[in-house]
Amino acid sequence: MKEHNDNLQSETIDHVIEGGGLSQQDRQTSRLIQNLHTYSQEYAQENERSLDRIWSRMVQSQEHSVSLQAAWKRPEKRLAVIKEIKTMEENNLSWGMNPPHSQAKKRRSFLRTLGIGLAAAVAIIAILSFAVFSTFQHPASQTAGNGSSTITGGAGHPQQIQQQKVISSGKQVCNLNAGSKVSINGAPWTPQLAWSAQGQIGVTTYSNVKAYSAKDCGAAFSASSSIQQAYGPVWSPDGKKLALVDAGDNSIHVLDNHGNSIAHLTFSQLGTLGVGNLFWSSDSNKIMFASQDASQQESVKSIDLTSNGKAATMMMLPANSGVISFSANGKVALLSHTDMSARPIKKDTEVWDVNSEKKLSSYTQQPIMNAALSPDGALIAIDGANSVQIYTTADGKLQASFQNTVSGQGVHTIVWSPDGKYIADATNVIKVYDVNAKKIAATFGQVDSQHWITTLTWAPDSSGLASSTLSLKDDVPSATDNTVNVWALS
């Protein structure tokens, strides 16, 4: 066998891929590189179109005062590669290159047109079968008077006694290292938390699901089955079951409060491609979740754990909409919606009344860093760039606004207390706002610029908060240092 004169060296690999440094004799390397360019050309062009679309939207945006030119300058080398392929195709050079992908483009174009047509045709699909939804409603919710505040029975924990105390400070109870968490398959970096009615804090990390005592952060259990890349933990109202999604094998797990598996349902079993936030029914027997099918249509499905575990579709979402979250009583849904027919395309955040199948209000301000519905769905808290604003969902009227200037680039987190009286918001510090008094009630847990507070969860009786903190190294999130803090509010 002839010794191969190898031009593939790591020091020059970028140059070689761009067509330099290859001799005429190295036909195999040239052929491989050219074929990889050719076979990925359609995908590469789609990416170029994405970048064009983003730039175009930026030019059209009214949110800045900079006069941008109509076209951005594409990197010449990227274009050169495409041009080179095209030239070789046209000339049918040495390797019998393929003709331009006219059919592929036509097929894509047809599908795009068809997709847009369908999307337009079903622009406002009525939400189906909300009667079933009533089983998810918590019985004790009620909204006070003019909607300026909300008192509920505890967001899925009606057995709890109403807390009357006023929060004015937060004090650390304990903390723990939650272990490593990296982002793979769409699972987030940060651990996610859920606080049970029985005083356990469930923590999902990269490689496991664990629970700790909220009193002293002592270990309560570790999931007995192997669960990788878990997210979205949520305890049943009775505190006996922990449901979560596994991005590793694309499934939903249900554990008991000792970490043993009760159910393991794959996405394919459930007839879904993607799963959003999970939500328990008040009887702790059913799980509701936002689902996305192959055509990217979203719906709300439910699983009855007492029967066969099959998913039933409860409602279809309007086209080009996705569920952000539900109110704790299940009566109100928070959706993100994109108006594909508008030019430029418009996005807004919408509140829908599930029972009446009507949109209650929509919010178009930008940026919306995060938003959350009060437990009874009567109010929405929107975390914007520099303020937290509270609106009544029935009519979209502003009820209160809190200044919230954030230093650094922390992840915005906002959660309502289960009793509906407070909002906790975190970026680089935890702030608790008193919704009734329309003032800040407590500030604590400040972190430096190399940390982000990424998750907040309330104790079911609104007496405490748990937060997770992610550390950065050289501005990059660290996969190994994730701390969970438990705070007592008084």
Exactly one of 9, 134, 224, 266 binds other proteins (CB under 8 A); that residue is 9
Q: Are 5 and 64 spatial neighbours (Cβ–Cβ below 8 Å)?
A: no
Q: Does 74 bind other proteins (CB under 8 A)?
A: yes
CA dist 376 and 368 (Å) reads: 21
- Taking the complex as a whole, the smallest distance from the CB of residue 292 to other proteins amounts, in Å, to 5
Q: List beta partners, residue 482.
A: 470
Exactly one of 69, 91, 403, 405 binds other proteins (CB under 8 A); that residue is 69
DSSP code of residue 133: G
Q: Does 3 bind other proteins (CB under 8 A)?
A: no
Residues 13-52 that bind other proteins (CB under 8 A): 13-14, 17, 27-29, 31-33, 35-44, 46-47, 50-51
In terms of CB distance, is 128 or 472 closer to other proteins? 472
CA dist 334 and 311 (Å) reads: 22
Exactly one of 298, 353, 376, 419 binds other proteins (CB under 8 A); that residue is 298
CA dist 320 and 338 (Å) reads: 6
Exactly one of 231, 280, 363, 433 binds other proteins (CB under 8 A); that residue is 231
Exactly one of 290, 435, 442, 465 binds other proteins (CB under 8 A); that residue is 290
CA dist 353 and 95 (Å) reads: 61
- Taking the complex as a whole, the smallest distance from the CB of residue 198 to other proteins amounts, in Å, to 25
- Taking the complex as a whole, the smallest distance from the CB of residue 264 to other proteins amounts, in Å, to 17
- Taking the complex as a whole, the smallest distance from the CB of residue 168 to other proteins amounts, in Å, to 29
Q: Does 411 bind other proteins (CB under 8 A)?
A: yes
In terms of CB distance, is 81 or 176 closer to other proteins? 81
Q: Does 130 bind other proteins (CB under 8 A)?
A: no
| Amino acid letter for position 239 | G
Nearest-10 Cα torsion for 301, 125, 378, 244: 20
What are phi and psi for residue 430, nearest 5 degrees? -95, 125
Q: Does 216 bind other proteins (CB under 8 A)?
A: no
Q: Are 183 and 470 spatial neighbours (Cβ–Cβ below 8 Å)?
A: no
Exactly one of 274, 348, 359, 481 binds other proteins (CB under 8 A); that residue is 274
Q: Are 168 and 490 spatial neighbours (Cβ–Cβ below 8 Å)?
A: yes
Q: Does 410 bind other proteins (CB under 8 A)?
A: yes
In terms of CB distance, is 167 or 278 closer to other proteins? 278
Q: Are 191 and 212 spatial neighbours (Cβ–Cβ below 8 Å)?
A: no
CA dist 317 and 326 (Å) reads: 13
CA dist 411 and 468 (Å) reads: 11
- Taking the complex as a whole, the smallest distance from the CB of residue 37 to other proteins amounts, in Å, to 6
Q: Does 346 bind other proteins (CB under 8 A)?
A: no
